[in-house]
Amino acid sequence: MELRLEGRVAVVTGGSKGLGLAMAKSFAHAGAQVAILARTQATLDEAAAAIGGGDNVAAIRCDVSRAGEIEAAHREIMARLGAIDILVNNAGQSQRGKFDELTDEMWQADLELKLFAAIRLTRLAFPGMKQRRWGRVINVLNIGAKAPQPESAPTSVSRAAGLALTKVLAGEGAPHNVLVNALLVGRIESDQIARRHKAEGTNLSLADYVRKHGAGIPLGRMGRAEEFANVALFLASEAGSYVTGTAINVDGGLSPIW
């Protein structure tokens, strides 16, 4: 089965690296026009070159934790690409710590980046999707949204809110053929894993670190960004036309909750 997206416009936040870049590549190679959003223009330009596609790829600098920048990015997307058919709310990082050490500022920053960014972007994209009677929203969360661990706040809390948002939007979008789902990340080889490896200061090489932390996963390894992108492509395509309001673990069986 070949999954194609000709005639569609996809927007991916956090699209310059890791999972976001992998999804943007997958969508572009399936024929979509793609806009990638991130905070650093130089990194965005490198990502756009890696994706290829020339005028079919728009690299737009945007800090999605800021409402004004989201509005400006939306105006640019509409001017350059004309619509948003597929929205992937992917921006975020793993902010976690002991509950009694987390400040209001840390909570607020996490919620702005992970929850309010998705709310604001979807609010801008939703009306056009409903009017055209076709749309896809994919919220990228993590398995902590379903099974939070100690010292996993604030990220697990904001991600759990993302689950509720997904279900609300799915119910409102369904009568208009706008499908809304969540993909939950487990342990995927990515820039985030590389940052964690560096922060821990381990004597292991990155490759050995990935093997060590993948060994406890039921499939026996960490996932690859391309494997995650494959699931996103399915949901974004016509092949996923009867899937909405669900949260799919892409985690090699790691989560204790299905």
Place 41 in a pLDDT band, splitting at 50, 70 and 90: very high
Residue 1 has pLDDT above 80, yes or no: no
Place 256 in a pLDDT band, splitting at 50, 70 and 90: very high
The CA distances from residue 205 to 33, 212, 215, in Å, are 38, 10, 15
Cα pseudo-dihedral 149, 154, 155, 159, rounded to 10:
90
pLDDT digits (tens, 9 = 90+) for 63-121: 999 999 999 999 999 999 999 999 999 998 888 899 999 999 999 999 999 999 999 99
pLDDT on residue 25:
98
Rounded to a whole number of angstroms, the distance between the first and last alpha carbons of the chain is 26
Q: How far apart are CA 82 and CA 256, in angstroms?
A: 42
pLDDT on residue 155:
95
What's the token pair of residue 35?
A: 């806009």
Region 153-164: what's the mean pLDDT? 97
Region 19-47: what's the mean pLDDT? 98
Region 224-234: what's the mean pLDDT? 98
pLDDT on residue 251:
98
In the chain the beta strands, taken as DSSP E runs, fall at 9-13, 33-38, 57-61, 86-89, 96-97, 135-142, 153-154, 178-185, 247-250
pLDDT on residue 53:
77
pTM for the model stands at 0.96
What's the token pair of residue 222?
A: 């960490």
Q: How far apart are CA 95 and CA 258, in angstroms?
A: 24
Query: What are the chain's domains?
Result: 9-188+223-247 (3.40.50.720)
pLDDT on residue 94:
80
Residue 186 has pLDDT above 90, yes or no: yes
Residue 200 has pLDDT above 90, yes or no: no
pLDDT on residue 229:
98
Pairing state between β 135-142 and 86-89? parallel
